[in-house]
Amino acid sequence: MSVTTVRLQAEVEQHLEAIASRLQRSKGWVINQAVQEYIEKQQLEQKRWSQTLEAMESAAQGKLVDASEVHDWLNSWGTENEQEAPRSGK
């Protein structure tokens, strides 16, 4: 495990100490949890952005599904004749 120094604003430090005390954990533990959650959130946002760009490229290439097919599929959910998700013809 490495050591990193961080300068915190006084108000942030006070909140950090209060959280650590309430959880009966060290400030380092709280900081590690917060940084890990932030990293996971950033990774998820990057994945979603990549998926958005990929979807936009597919649409630009004409790889689309007709809205009526999507509506039929959604309306079949929970019925005896539930359909599989429609796919583009390309």
C-beta of residue 65 within 8 angstroms of C-beta of residue 88 = yes
Each residue's pLDDT tens digit, 16-31: 999 999 999 999 999 9
Nearest partner of 31 among 71, 58, 1, judged by Cα: 1
> What is the tens place of the pLDDT at every residue in 1-17?
899 999 999 999 999 99
Q: For the whole model, what pTM was predicted?
A: 0.71
